[in-house]
Structure 1
Amino acid sequence: MNSLISADNTWVLWAFLCGWAAISIVLEQKYNWAAKITGAIIALIGALALSNLKIIPTDSPVYDDVWTYVVPLAITLLLYQCDIKKIWKESGKMLVIYLLSAVGTMTGAIVGFYLLASKIPFLAEVAGMMTGSYIGGGANFAAMSAAFELPGDVVSAAVVSDNLLMALYFFVLITIPSINFFRKHFLHPHVQEFEKQEIKEGETTASSYWSRKDISLKDIALSIGSAFAIVAISNTIAEFLSATIPTSNAFLSLLNTLLGNQYLIITTVTMICASVFSDFFSNLGGAQEIGTYLIYIFFVVIGVPASIQSIIVNSPLLLVFCFIVVLINMLVTFVCAKIFKFNLEDAILASNACIGGPTTAAAMAVSKGWTKLIAPIMLIGTLGYVIGNYCGIIIGNFLL
């Protein structure tokens, strides 16, 4: 397709990707309407509009570089807080309901697949992608879409469906604490504690969470330098295992797929590093911010190849699939919370952390005034980055 900006105009395209990602973040943190839409959707819609208006190309080596370099680095940086020992020590109880919620996601993906497999192309791969996304978050969506090598229009349609459903579900979760049915059947100590305080009118949820922090030049240097080193080592290990493990039978073939996948190796290596050398990685200022910004660049890129016509055709059924996954996740989470006597706030944040990731769950805790739950859900949601990739790969390959 001919476009105003050519596919080989590298600097201009990089300026657009990085600039629009930055604008999306600014809008999300400045305006309530943007915070409700989410910066991810703003990033995607902007790229989608410009590509369909033939201002930017739908294919370029610049976009390939984002998949090759930006996404692995983003995943690595976002895992630096994932100290397994700390997560279990500080958040053991909430971790249980989160893991049960993750089971709900996997169950929903399988049910949705068998209900809609004949009507949606690439649904097994999409199910794996959405399993990763609805257990971890955007980083897992990026990892799984790359791992399953889905066509760009399918990924874009899935993102539109995913984010639309996610936005609606967040509205439901925010509303639940004020519904008498849930107040009657669940303990809600944090809601009661907050209601005794004076309600503060703040900024957007995003700006409340992403407050200014002290970050030194050394932090930036060590964060980026170590991320490159971990990705390089992980890719080397993945390539070695992929070339070494035979594919002579179904079991070995699955093992080759799992252990030869760069994203699973990146996840595993980073998790080990963050747990063994937790004092070093947990104190690196800026790693989470840089990783999140890189993920926003990814959201811009996946909006580029989207055909509006294709999204109109594909999104309705994909939206139904996402609805099934989220509905079953919610049912499993709240039923288990009732059976095992978890607080209402634990169930809400656990489901939020699965569907939206640790940042959205922490942001919801901030917006609702549940200050004691911010750090635990952030830690548990970060664990989702780890197990989300494993669950996504397993579910996708099982359904395939």
Structure 2
Amino acid sequence: MNTLIQPDDTWLLWAFLAGWAAISIYLEQRYQWAAKISGAVIALLGALVLANLHIIPTEAPAYDAVWSYVVPLAIPLLLFQTNLRKIWVESERLLVLFLISSIGTVIGVYLSFIGLKNAVKSLDKIGAIMTGSYIGGGVNFAALSAKFEVPGELVSAAVVADNLMMALYFFVLMVIPAIGFFRNRFQTPYIDELEKRVGDNRETQAASYWKPKEISLKDIAASFGTAFVLVAISFKLADIFDELIPSGENASFVLNVSNGIFGDRYLMLTTITIIVVSVFSRFFERLNGTQEFGTFLIYLFFVVIGVPASIPELIKNAPLLLLFVFIIVLMNMIVTFGVGKLLKFDLEEMILASNANIGGPTTAAAMAIAKGWTRLIVPILLVGTLGYIIGNYIGSMMGYILGE
């Protein structure tokens, strides 16, 4: 089909990808209405509209480059601030609650898959993606989407349903502290501390979180140089293991699982990155800007996945997928608040742990900032980044389980 911008107009397409990603981030940080929608949805919708108006093509080498190069680079960049030892030492209490909340996500994915598997095609793959996303975040959504090769229209519908549900759930989490039912039944030490304070912060949560920071040329060089090296080594090793370890119908269960673990590029990348970050923690802790770099690359991914989306397909699939993610979020909330109550966690901790699962560490930290729970900002950010690590593993596991 003819479009205003042709598939081989590479510079024009990259200008759109990078430009619209930048605009989406600006709108999310500048306007409350955009923050409520989320920059990810704005990025996706812009591409969706232009593709359906035949202004940009639905397939192009520039889009393939995002999947092949941009997404893999984003993963290590977003993991550079993750230190397993530091997470345990500084955030032991929240870590336990976060892992409990992750169990709620897994239960929700399984139950919703059982109920809707006959209504939505490739739901096992969508289930794998949402498991990773609702334990980690956008980086896991991107990695697992690439791994399971989900059809573009389903990925786009899943993103719309995912972000709509996140927006609704975050609203619920924001108002929970003001509801008497929760205040009367849960410990609220951080809320009590701020009871008499009157906030007048007009910034969006995104703007509050993404404050300017000092970034040097050395930070940029070290961040991207290291990311490129890690991706190259990880992908090469995964390819070697994929060839060495037999898989398929004639291979044993153990060999198939081993091939799935060691021969998977994204799991290998996650594993090697975490090992390197843990061993050379002081080097990575001094790097500034890695979260910003990685997040911008993920926004390019959100623009690209909106391109092949067919509006009729979205109308057809998004409502069912919205029900799918609703069940997941509901189970996450029930498990988090139910077990949290039994183990005498604070209400603020439950809210942030559930937020970190469903939205990722940045949204959880942003909520802690917005609520004024300053002592919980760093712990939930550290714990939430653990989701980036385990999200790919648990998501892959669920993909194999649901696909059987």
TM-score of the two chains, using structure 1 as the length reference: 0.99
Aligned to 1:219: 219
Q: Is the 8 A contact 1:186 1:344 kept in 2?
A: yes
- Residue 388 of structure 1: how far off its partner (Å): 0.4
Mark the runs of 5 or more structure 2 residues left unpaired by the alignment: none
Paired amino acid for 2:88? W
SS in 2 for 1:44: helix
Deviation, 1:192, is 1.2
Aligned partner of 2:320 among 317, 321, 344 = 317
Amino acid at match of 1:281: F
The CA distance in 1 between the partners of 2:267 and 2:86, in whole Å, is 21
Secondary structure in 2 aligned to 1:195?
A: coil
Q: 2-side partners of 1:236 and 1:380: how far apart?
A: 30
2:260 is matched with: 257
Q: Tell me, what secondary structure is at the counterpart of 2:194?
A: helix
1:269 aligns to 2:272 (yes or no): yes
Q: What are the within-5 Å matches in structure 2 for residues 41-190 of structure 1?
A: 41-190=41-190
CA displacement at 1:274 relative to structure 2: 1.2
Alignment deviations for residues 59-107 of structure 1 (CA, whole Å, 9 cap, x no partner) = 0011010000000111110000110000000000100000000000011
Q: Counterpart in 1 of 2:360? A: 357
Cα distance, 1:258 vs. partner? 2.1
SS of the residue corresponding to residue 164 of structure 2 reads helix
2:15 corresponding residue in structure 1: 15
Give per-residue Cα distances to partners, 1:270-305, cap 9 Å, x unaligned: 111111111001111111100000000100000000
Give distance in 1, aligned partners of 2:120 and 2:46.
26
Query: Partners of 2:323 and 2:254 in 1: how far apart?
Result: 33
| Unmatched runs of 5 consecutive residues or more in structure 1 | none
- Indicate conservation of the 8 Å contact 1:153/1:307, yes or no: yes
Compute the RMSD of aligned alpha carbons.
Answer: 0.7
What is the aligned partner in structure 2 of residue 374 from structure 1? 377
Match of 2:309 among 289, 306, 310: 306
Q: CA deviation at 1:260?
A: 1.1
In 2, Cα distance between the equivalents of 1:192 and 1:36?
27
Tell me, in whole angstroms, the C-alpha distance in 1 between the residues paired with 2:207 and 2:174.
18
Which whole-Å CA distance do the structure 1 matches of 2:290 and 2:197 have between them? 33
Shift of 1:240: 1.0
TM superposition shift of 1:28: 0.4
The whole-number CA distance in structure 1 between the counterparts of 2:232 and 2:177 is 45
Indicate yes or no: 2:3 matched with 1:3.
yes
How high is the sequence identity, in percent, across the aligned residues? 60
Match of 2:344 in 1: 341
The count of residues paired between Structure 1 and Structure 2 equals 400
- What are the Cα deviations for residues 166-186 of structure 1, in whole angstroms up to 9, with x where unaligned? 110000000111111111111
For residues 198 and 160 of structure 2, what CA distance do their matches in structure 1 show?
37
Q: Name the counterpart of 1:328.
A: 331
TM-score normalised by L of structure 2: 0.98
Following the alignment from structure 2 to structure 1, what is the Cα–Cα distance between the partners of residues 144 and 197? Answer: 42
User: Which deviations, in whole Å up to 9, do the C-alpha atoms of 1:310-338 show, x marking residues without a partner?
Assistant: 00001111111000111000000000110
